[in-house]
Amino acid sequence: MGKALRVGIGYDSHPLVSGRKLILGGVDIPHDKGLSGWSDADVATHAIIDALLGAADLGDIGMQFPPGESKYENISSLVLLSKAGELVRAKGFKVSNIDVIIMAQRPKVSRFIPEMRKCVSQALAIEPTQVTVKATTTNGLGFIGREEGIAAQSVVLISTIS
């Protein structure tokens, strides 16, 4: 049998609140607000985790790392990403590539993209060239445009380990 390819898609959004750090793609982004959530609320990394878990038929982030469990409170999403990568490898798959888009009106995050690629690739023990990060605004539309929250969407391709 040949190499099996599987695709997963992930999405996450969290509200912006005062008194929290803004973490995106594992990077601490200077901003007057951060994302509210049980972990560090890193929507980019959460979207990647959901895409990976979905591609490998491992459920979703809430099934694997339930909110409300004390061991996940304020945990770095990069730790969760690393654990998700281990689960994917245990099912006989490796990451081929990851594509994630961050939707935020503010702050502008493009200058942090190289560091995000590095953080995500290190957490998964893959090359930075296997991770693409993009950023966009919603041109003032919706909860993102009103700067009430930030969202991210990701697509991943995994393949069987040969």
> Domains of the chain: which residue ranges?
5-160
Residue 27: name the closest of 6, 43, 3 by CA: 43
- Given this model, what pLDDT does residue 2 score? 66
Question: Token pair 């654990």 is at which residue?
Answer: 83
This prediction's pTM: 0.96
Q: Are 16 and 34 in contact (CB under 8 A)?
A: yes
Overall average pLDDT of the 133-138 stretch: 97
Domain 5-160 bears CATH identifier 3.30.1330.50: yes
Specify the 3-state DSSP secondary structure of 34. Answer: strand
Secondary structure (3-state) at 117: helix
For the chain, strand residue ranges (E) read 5-17, 22-24, 27-29, 34-35, 93-103, 131-136, 149-160
Q: What is the pLDDT of residues 24-82, one digit of tens each?
A: 999 999 999 999 999 999 999 999 999 999 999 999 999 999 988 899 999 999 999 99
